Structure 1
Amino acid sequence: MDFDLTEEQSILKDSLDRLLADRYSFEARRGYMASAEGWSAEMWSRYAEMGLMALPFAEADGGIGGGPVETMIVMESLGRVLALEPYFPTVVIGGGFLRLGAGDELRTTLVPQIMDGSLKLAFAHTERNSRYDLTHVETVARKDGHGYVLNGAKSVVLHGDSADRIFVTARTAGAARDKKGVTLFLIDPRASGIGLHGYRNQDGQRAAELTLDNVRVGPEAVVGEADNALPLVRRVADQGIAALAAESIGVMSAMHKLTVDYLKVRKQFGVPIGAFQVLQHKAVDMFVATEQARSMAMYATMMADAEDADERARAMHAAKAEIGRAGRLVGEMAIQLHGGVGMTMEYDIGHFFKRMTMIDITFGDSDHHLRALAEAGGLTDL
């Protein structure tokens, strides 16, 4: 199997890497984080100018027609600099719902706004009692004439405080963990009855708590099939896991490089500490773990568009379980080899480890996915 990038993919990677190298130093990122939005509006515009927002959308919708490989390239590059912009919730997750679940009219209206950078999206699904279970939805949508009335609360809505539209799951039938009875809505966060409390996660990314108090929406707010949104949610979540896997490789690669560079310049007993063989072995362990995780990220990318939901889910369970384990190992070794300076807010290595931990718990941590993979019988049916 050929894993080499095409000429167009290589150009995409090189162009994005050059932009981020020029504009996304650690100090620049600190300034972006301190801004009102918590990320860089200028960089967001540059992503749009480069066509990054248009990558996954079909040419019929005005997009570039890219696939999971192009998303992998972008996410790995963004992970390497700890980019703060809402690319993941807007283009990967929100764009996934539009591509796979929205009708022609909604796509025609919203996709061009995403591609020019004027529309930002978020996904509100996690609830306090859900424990990584995508089927657990307590938020209720009650039928009211031709529309619905929504009541409930959602947690850790990534970039929810800057979103122009939010995808929200609510139960229109059944009990809290039933597989049927969940509907996906696209709502305006400025509508009456919606409360948003924004905050910064430990990794610097923005998130929000969302409350819905008798929020009225029309029938046009429903995206996909009413009462049966979970298959769509699972498919988009699987594509999100593949994208996060690619971002993880960028984060781990950066941690390894920063650590090796530090071993070359930090001196003890008059020599660089990288001269000590035991520390060299730890650096090699970090490299091996990163490359093993890279293989799983590629596997997740290959399976992201698989039509067989069970096969796709097993691949994502395996990728999430292995990459979460590898990311923890690489991060812990990076902090250990840096010593005390690795724990300070002023040095960048700790921020990479924080991002790795947040990636691990998004859509379920490694322990959750390892258990799910075991319950599914492993990667293959034997």
Structure 2
Amino acid sequence: MNFDFSEEQTMLRDSVARFVQDDYDFDTRRGIVASDEGMSREVWQTFAELGWLSVPFAEEHGGFGGGPVDLMVMMEEFGKGLIVEPYFATVVLFGGLLNAAGSDGQKGEYIPGIIDGSRLGAFAYLERQSRYELADMLTTATAADDGYKLNGEKVVVSNGMNADTLIVAARTSGEQFDRQGISLFIVDAKAAGVERVSYRLMDGQNVANITFKDVSVSADALLGELDGGYSAMDQVIQEGIVALCSEAVGLMGQLNSKTLEYTKTREQFGTAISNFQALQHRMVDTFMSYEQAKSMLYRAVCALENGDEDLRRELHALKVMTHKCGKHIFEEAIQLHGGMGLTDELDIAHYAKRLMMINATFGDRDHHQTQFNALSYGSKTADNLASMSDAA
């Protein structure tokens, strides 16, 4: 199979790499993370001018018309640069839902603003009790007048504080765990009854808990079919898993490169520690982990692009492999750097923290391993495997 990138994909990858090298060094990133918004509007506008915000959108809306591979090469480079601007939240999730479920009118109203950088978005779906189960939802949307009233709370909303517009998942019928009965609504982030509390995650990302108290939205705010929002959520989160794991592969590659370079400069007993055979073996092991994660990513991207029947299983495997390999790589990177590998002043710790947060997003290793086992071996065997894993 040919894994060579097209000329356009290579140009896209190189443009991000040049930006990171020339304009987004580690000190610049630290300053952005320390700012009130936790992102740079100027950098975001640069993304728009370079055309990066248009990549996954159709040409009829002013987009690039890109697919999963185009998104993969960009997200991998974003990972290498530790980019904190809300590309994932606004373009992949918010924009992805518009692509998946939006009407022509809704796409025409919101997508051009994403592309030109004037609109920041967020997807509010996670609740305190839901863990990794998308359908576990208590936020409600009840019919009122000519629209709906939203009540409930969403937590850990990526870019939730800076977003101009939210897409909110709410229950319009059914019971707490039913997949049928979930609907999606486009909500003005500054609407009456919307309250946001901002905080930072360990990787510097800005998130928010958002409360909705009798928030009125019109009937036109419904995104997709009434009671049919789960399928759109599921589709976009599948795309989101691939995007996040692409970022993770970029992070792993940088950790390996930076650690290898450090072992060539750090001396012990009068010689560079890269000359020690035991450490050479460990660096080979981390390189192999990186290659395994990258291979699994390519496999999942191909499955996503081709709409394979085994896509869901491939995504579970990708998430498990990303967690396993990422943990191995960042633990070795920190250990080989010594105590300073944990300091805030060194970028190694920031790469490690970002990998940890990616591993916990959309389900951790145990969650995806259980789902993979169920799809591969059946639920009864999967339960036995899970029990054996717990016992071990």
Unaligned runs of 5+ in 1: none
- Residue 311 of structure 2 corresponds to 312
Q: Which runs of 5+ in 2 are unaligned?
A: 379-392
Distance 1:161 1:236 in 2: 21
Distance in 2, matches of 1:2 and 1:10, equals 15
Aligned mates of 2:313, 2:283 — CA distance in 1:
31
> In percent, how many aligned pairs have the same letter?
44
Pairing 1:47-62 to 2, within 5 Å after superposition: 47-62=47-62
Q: How does 1:22-101 map to 2 (within 5 A)?
A: 22-101=22-101
- In 2, Cα distance between the equivalents of 1:378 and 1:144? 47
Tell me the residue number matched to 2:387.
none
Query: Is residue 292 of structure 2 the alignment partner of residue 279 of structure 1?
Result: no
Q: CA deviation at 1:305?
A: 4.2
The AA in structure 2 aligned to 1:332 is: E
- Tell me which residue corresponds to 2:237: 237
What's the CA shift string for 1:287-307, capped at 9, x where partnerless? 000110001111222223454
Cα distance in 2 for residues equivalent to 1:145 and 1:229: 22
Q: 1:7 to 1:130 in 2, by over 3 A?
A: same
Partner of 2:252: 252
Deviation at 1:60, TM superposition (A): 1.6
Question: Hey, what does 1:216 align to over in structure 2?
Answer: 216
Q: Output the CA distance in 1 between the equivalents of 2:362 and 2:205.
A: 16
> Partner amino acid for 1:51?
G
Q: 1:358 to 1:4 in 2, by over 3 A?
A: same
Q: Does the residue aligned with 1:44 lie in a helix, a strand or coil? A: helix
Who is 1:354 aligned against? 353
The aligned counterpart of 2:261 is 261
Count matched residues.
Answer: 378
Displacement of 1:239 after TM fit?
0.2
Quick one: distance in 1 between partners of 2:55 and 2:128?
34
Query: Is 1:153 aligned with 2:153?
Result: yes
Quote the Cα distance in structure 2 between the aligned partners of 1:246 and 1:126. Answer: 22
Q: Distance in 2 between the 1:313 and 1:120 partners?
A: 29
Q: Is the 8 A contact 1:252 1:290 kept in 2?
A: yes
Tell me whether 1:338 sits opposite 2:337 in the alignment. Answer: yes
Distance 1:219 1:307, change over 3 A: farther
> Does the residue aligned with 1:160 lie in a helix, a strand or coil?
coil
Conserved? CA contact 1:245–1:300, under 8 Å: no
Q: CA RMSD in A?
A: 1.3
Deviations 1:164-209 (A, max 9, x none): 1111101111111111110011101101111101111100111001
- Deviating 4+ runs (over 4 angstroms): 305-308
Report the residue type matching 2:360 in the other structure: I
What SS does structure 1 have at the residue aligned with 2:310?
Answer: helix
Q: Structure 1 residue 199 and structure 2 residue 199: aligned? A: yes
Q: Distance in 1 between matches of 2:118 and 2:319?
A: 32
Whole-angstrom CA distance in 2 between matches of 1:175 and 1:162: 32
Find the counterpart in structure 2 of residue 112 from structure 1.
Answer: 112
Looking at structure 1, the residues matched to 152 and 377 of structure 2 have their Cα atoms a distance apart, in angstroms, of 36
Q: Secondary structure at the match of 1:53?
A: helix
For residues 53 and 353 of structure 2, what CA distance do their matches in structure 1 show? Answer: 26
**How big is the shift at 1:61?**
1.6
What residue is the counterpart of 1:324 in the other structure? Answer: 323
Aligned-pair CA distance for 1:144: 1.2
8 Å Cα contact 1:314/1:378 also seen in 2: no
Distance 2:46 2:194 in 1: 31
Separation of aligned partners in 1, 2:305 and 2:227: 23
Tell me the SS of whatever aligns to 1:42.
helix
Q: Distance in 1 between matches of 2:154 and 2:208?
A: 9
Partner of 2:189: 189
What TM-score do you get using the length of structure 1 for normalisation? 0.97
- 1:95: how far off? 1.1
Q: Aligned partners of 2:93 and 2:3: how far apart in 1?
A: 25
Q: 1:41: Cα distance to partner? A: 1.6
